[in-house]
């Protein structure tokens, strides 16, 4: 199986969160749990859905990621933008954004 | 400007209190997300990629300095210090907390604003010509009629669950500044040969995955029948519009499938039944609303103020701003100033809280406290004395709001795209920023002339790409951003849906591609032609050849 993470938005403030290994919800993708097999994914997803029922988060789903020398990065661009913030407003970014999300990478 | 009466105040306050209770019940777990989502959408609250987003209505684009100051306060207190003006005369806040939204709605209600019907399958915020009431060419002030429709449509119980969303736009004159032909209903002010006021009613326009130009359902509707006639249209649509497929649920599909003649027959039959009902507008009621939009007390001035002329002569940059951003006012000695929210490299439509405060102050100082939001994501000061234009421009320049690019290459309409929007398939703002930087030279932009570039990050077309002279649509090709280019669209009275030029370009080629198209136009244009004129004369082929580097074969 490809590597996965579980994500959602925090119910109260709407911000992007990821499920950490200790069941807490963290805002940085580097702090999230990387899930490596299907059984674990299903188990963690059902725990996360339970958190929806506790008004912690909303809209739980899994995100495919890659890990390269400890650097976690979602596969899909949409998820990279969710993880690191709007590229049009880098001042609201979170964590270390990969180079392909930098607005200056592609020259005008 | 319209001022709330006790009914308006009560209505908005009641809705805010209801939503406060709904949020409380959602946070306590009494309401599930499934139960809560339609309720929050009815109050303009979306959950986007990064956070909640609150869409606040600016009915027919008219607002006051006091209201803008309150928006600045909201941006600072509850958001991240900015707001974003949209293509439907709304302002969006991108980072509000759910738990703060009831307080935000209270703060909006305090200045007669709300987020009601800015989402959901209902009649959305009614938009209008941003120059209504002040432009020389107008037939009638469309704010009066847009306000009448706003009152009629707010919480209209029959039309709270339409097959799909429903958008009105009003034009004050034949010259269409409000893209009325791309709305579910477009209303154009007219006078008949006797000089009576009425409206041309158009129906079934729209963008999205099935772009369509509205068709005329009535050439001239006497003004007092406006509500009965549009209620007849809405009733027919509500009953027979498709609900089985959301992509076929807009009224444009009904117009297309039934044909305008058959739809017109159904509407006219319903209208006959209700035209003499309470919906027929008494002159007194029309006058009551019209009084709210009475012209302010203008000073008795002449055009061609000598100081204004001298400043234009002495300051080339000011003269350029006047030539691009200032429109003639119907009152002698006054002008309409459009403030570009498209500085070089900026995010089109974004305004910081500090800029909002400055704009509010300038509105008070120079525009009798009134401002307008345009569907092209700019701000208008509608009542500026010509003699004040120079000081106004200096003040704007100091806040990076003095860009002289209205209607030029960098005056780009752009949706939020994948930087914010949950529906987007590609980013759109960064493309606009790159174009804006590439074409930063205003002399070059002036030489190119009128260019309506419109960029959408998905097929839903919030960035109006179909009706740009050049349109850019972001698409996802196996996880990569690609951009499909359309040529020849127009939002105005010469409404046209653009044609796709060919295969989509990868992100790193799209700005080069755009520049190639502009270069091709400059090579081909004849004296006095805009891009759109040249395109209409020569067609797609030479642009396609240049873009895809094929050889251009001209028939002998």
Q: Are residues B141 and B286 in the same domain?
A: yes
The per-residue pLDDT for B550 is 52
Report the residue from A12, A14, A81 with minimal CB separation from B418.
A81
Specify if B280 maps to a domain. Answer: yes
Q: Are residues B271 and B370 in the same domain?
A: no
| CA gap A92, B419 in Å, rounded | 11
Q: Do A14 and B96 touch (CB under 8 A)?
A: yes
Contacts of B148 (CB under 8 A, 6+ apart): B226, B227, B281, B286, B289
Nearest chain B Cα distance for residue A69, angstroms: 23
Q: Are residues B105 and B63 in the same domain?
A: yes
Measured N-to-C along each axis, helices B429-438 and B507-524 cross at an angle, to the nearest 10 degrees, of: 50
Residues of B in contact with A12 (CB under 8 A): 27, 97-99
Q: Are residues B54 and B19 in the same domain?
A: yes
CA distances, B441 to each of B301, B403, B405 (Å): 36, 11, 10
* Cα-to-chain-centroid distance, residue B281: 27
Give the per-residue SS3 of A62-75: EEEEEEECCEEEEC
Contacts of B108 (CB under 8 A, 6+ apart): B56, B70, B74, B114, B115
| CA gap B489, B467 in Å, rounded | 4
The per-residue pLDDT for B552 is 45
Specify if B407 maps to a domain. Answer: no
Within a 10 A sphere around the Cβ of A108, how many other Cβ atoms? 17
Quote the tokens at residue B137.
Answer: 């060419």
pTM here? Answer: 0.96
CB distance from B95 to chain A under 8 Å?
Answer: yes
Q: Are residues B27 and B98 in the same domain?
A: yes
Q: Are residues B390 and B440 in the same domain?
A: no
Q: List the single best residue of A49, A78, A100, A101 to mutate versus B (max B Cβ within 10 A).
A: A78
Residues of B in contact with A107 (CB under 8 A): 434
Residues in chain A, pLDDT under 70: 100, 102-108
Q: Are residues B248 and B271 in the same domain?
A: yes
Domain limits for position B502? 413-549
Q: Are residues B323 and B426 in the same domain?
A: no
Strand order in the sheet with B127-128: B127-128, B168-171, B185-191, B197-203, B215-222
DSSP state of B120: S
Q: Are residues B286 and B312 in the same domain?
A: no
Last residue of a domain, one of B109, B144, B172: B109
Specify if B331 maps to a domain. Answer: yes
Residue B7, helix vs strand vs coil: helix
Specify if B75 maps to a domain. Answer: yes
Q: Are residues B421 and B533 in the same domain?
A: yes
The radius of gyration computed from the CA coordinates of chain B, to the nearest angstrom, equals 23
Quote the tokens at residue B258.
Answer: 């039934």
Phi, psi of B242 (to 5 degrees): -75, 135
The per-residue pLDDT for B277 is 97
Q: List the single best residue of B49, B99, B507 to mutate versus A (max A Cβ within 10 A).
A: B49
CB distance from B435 to chain A under 8 Å?
Answer: yes
Last residue of a domain, one of B398, B433, B463: B398
Contacts of B225 (CB under 8 A, 6+ apart): B271, B275, B280, B281
Residues of A in contact with B430 (CB under 8 A): 87-88, 103, 106
Quote the tokens at residue B9.
Answer: 């105040």
Report the residue from B48, B347, B508 with minimal CB separation from A88.
B347
Contacts of B290 (CB under 8 A, 6+ apart): B141, B144
Half-sphere exposure of A82 (CA within 13 A, CB side): 30
Q: Do A88 and B95 touch (CB under 8 A)?
A: no
The per-residue pLDDT for A102 is 59
Would you call B547 exposed, middle or buried from its count of C-beta atoms within 10 A (0-12, 13-18, 19+)? Answer: buried
Q: What is the ipTM of this complex?
A: 0.94
Specify if B53 maps to a domain. Answer: yes
Residue B200, helix vs strand vs coil: strand
CA distances, B55 to each of A41, A58, B58 (Å): 36, 20, 10
pLDDT in tens, chain B (556 residues): 999 999 999 999 999 999 999 999 999 999 999 999 999 999 999 999 999 999 999 999 999 999 999 999 999 999 999 999 999 999 999 999 999 999 999 999 999 999 999 999 999 999 999 999 999 899 999 999 999 999 999 999 999 999 999 999 999 999 999 999 999 999 999 999 999 999 999 999 999 999 999 999 999 999 999 999 999 999 999 999 999 999 999 999 999 999 999 999 999 999 999 999 999 999 999 999 999 999 999 999 999 899 999 999 999 999 999 999 999 999 999 999 999 999 999 999 999 999 999 999 999 999 999 999 999 999 999 999 999 999 999 999 999 999 999 999 999 999 999 999 999 999 999 999 999 999 999 999 999 999 999 999 999 999 999 999 999 999 999 999 999 999 999 999 999 999 999 999 999 999 999 999 999 999 999 999 999 999 999 999 999 999 998 544 444 4
| CA gap B456, B470 in Å, rounded | 12
Last residue of a domain, one of B247, B266, B291: B291
The per-residue pLDDT for B330 is 96
CA distances, A1 to each of A42, A45, A64, B498 (Å): 12, 15, 10, 44
Type and span of the H or E element at B483: strand B480-487
Q: Are residues B193 and B50 in the same domain?
A: no
Beta strands in B223-374 (DSSP E): 326-328, 334-339, 350-352, 370-373
Specify if B556 maps to a domain. Answer: no
Beta strands in B25-128 (DSSP E): 45-47, 52-57, 62-64, 82-85, 90-93, 127-128
Domain count within chain B:
4
Give me the CATH number covering residue B433.
Answer: 3.30.413.10
Specify if B117 maps to a domain. Answer: no
Half-sphere exposure of B333 (CA within 13 A, CB side): 9
Contacts of B484 (CB under 8 A, 6+ apart): B472, B473, B475, B500, B504, B505
Residues of B in contact with A76 (CB under 8 A): 479
Specify if B223 maps to a domain. Answer: yes
CB distance from A15 to chain B under 8 Å?
Answer: yes
Q: Do A108 and B420 touch (CB under 8 A)?
A: no
CA distances, B7 to each of B58, B66, B111, B112, B123 (Å): 19, 21, 15, 12, 19
| CA gap A4, B56 in Å, rounded | 37
Residues of B in contact with A83 (CB under 8 A): none
Q: Do B47 and A58 touch (CB under 8 A)?
A: yes
Give me the CATH number covering residue B354.
Answer: 3.90.480.20
CB distance from A104 to chain B under 8 Å?
Answer: no
Nearest chain A Cα distance for residue B365, angstroms: 31
The radius of gyration computed from the CA coordinates of chain A, to the nearest angstrom, equals 14
The per-residue pLDDT for A71 is 87
Would you call B462 exposed, middle or buried from its count of C-beta atoms within 10 A (0-12, 13-18, 19+)? Answer: buried
| CA gap B401, B371 in Å, rounded | 15
Q: Are residues B74 and B149 in the same domain?
A: no
């Amino acid at each position: 199986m490809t590597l996965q993470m579980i994500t959602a938005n925090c119910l109260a403030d709407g911000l992007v969160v990821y499920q950490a290994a200790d069941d807490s919800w963290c805002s940085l993708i580097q702090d999230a749990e990387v899930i490596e097999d299907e059984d674990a994914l299903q188990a963690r997803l059902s725990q996360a859905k339970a958190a929806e029922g506790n008004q912690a988060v909303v809209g739980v789903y899994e995100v495919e990621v890659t890990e390269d020398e400890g650097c976690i990065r979602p596969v899909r661009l949409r998820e990279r933008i969710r993880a690191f913030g709007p590229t049009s407003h880098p001042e609201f970014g979170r964590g270390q954004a990969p180079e392909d999300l930098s607005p200056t990478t592609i020259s005008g | 400007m319209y001022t709330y009466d006790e009914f308006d105040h009560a209505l908005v306050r009641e809705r805010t209190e209801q939503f406060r209770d709904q949020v409380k019940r959602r946070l306590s777990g009494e309401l599930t997300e499934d139960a809560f989502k339609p309720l929050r959408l009815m109050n303009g609250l979306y959950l986007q990629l990064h956070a909640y987003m609150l869409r606040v209505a600016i009915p027919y684009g008219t607002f006051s300095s006091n209201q803008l100051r309150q928006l600045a306060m909201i941006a600072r207190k509850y958001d991240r210090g900015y707001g974003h003006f949209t293509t439907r005369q709304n302002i969006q806040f991108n980072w509000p907390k759910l738990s703060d939204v009831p307080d935000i709605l209270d703060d909006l209600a305090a200045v007669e604003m709300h987020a009601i019907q800015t989402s959901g399958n209902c009649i959305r915020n009614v938009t209008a010509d941003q120059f209504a009431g002040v432009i020389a060419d107008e037939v009638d002030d469309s704010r009066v009629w847009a306000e009448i429709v706003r009152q009629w449509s707010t919480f209209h119980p029959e039309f709270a669950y339409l097959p799909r969303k429903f958008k009105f736009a009003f034009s004050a004159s034949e010259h269409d500044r409000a893209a009325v032909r791309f709305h579910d209903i477009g209303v154009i002010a007219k006078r008949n040969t006797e000089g009576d006021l009425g409206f041309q009613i158009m129906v079934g326009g729209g963008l999205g995955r099935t772009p369509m130009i509205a068709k005329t359902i009535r050439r001239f509707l006497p003004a007092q029948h406006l509500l009965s006639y549009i209620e007849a249209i809405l009733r027919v649509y509500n009953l027979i519009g498709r609900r089985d497929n959301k992509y076929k649920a807009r009224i444009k599909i009904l117009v297309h499938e039934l044909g305008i003649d058959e739809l017109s027959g159904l509407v006219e039959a319903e209208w006959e039944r209700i035209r003499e009902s309470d919906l027929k507008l008494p002159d007194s009621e029309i006058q009551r609303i019209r009084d709210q939009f009475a012209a302010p007390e203008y000073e008795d001035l002449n055009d061609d103020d000598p100081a204004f002329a001298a400043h234009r002569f002495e300051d080339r940059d000011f003269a350029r701003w006047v030539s691009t951003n200032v429109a003639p006012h119907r009152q002698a000695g006054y002008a309409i100033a459009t403030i570009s929210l498209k500085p070089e490299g900026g995010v089109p439509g974004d305004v910081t809280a500090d800029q909002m405060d400055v704009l509010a102050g300038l509105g008070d100082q120079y525009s009798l406290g009134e401002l307008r939001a345009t569907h092209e994501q700019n701000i208008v000061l509608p009542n500026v004395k010509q003699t004040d234009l120079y000081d106004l421009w200096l003040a704007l320049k100091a806040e990076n709001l003095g860009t002289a690019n209205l209607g030029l290459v960098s005056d780009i309409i752009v949706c939020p795209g994948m930087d914010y929007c949950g529906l987007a398939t590609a980013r759109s703002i960064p493309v606009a920023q790159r174009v804006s930087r590439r074409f930063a030279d205003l002399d070059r932009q002036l030489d190119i002339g009128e260019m309506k570039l419109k960029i959408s990050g998905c097929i839903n077309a919030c960035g109006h790409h179909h009706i740009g002279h050049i349109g850019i649509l972001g698409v996802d090709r196996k996880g990569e951003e690609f951009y499909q280019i359309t040529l020849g669209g127009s939002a105005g009275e010469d409404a046209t849906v653009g044609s796709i030029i060919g295969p989509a370009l990868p992100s790193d080629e799209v700005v080069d591609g755009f520049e190639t198209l502009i270069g091709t136009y400059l090579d081909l244009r004849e004296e006095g032609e805009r891009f759109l004129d040249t395109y209409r004369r020569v067609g797609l082929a030479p642009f396609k050849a240049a873009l895809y580097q094929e050889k251009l074969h001209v028939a002998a």
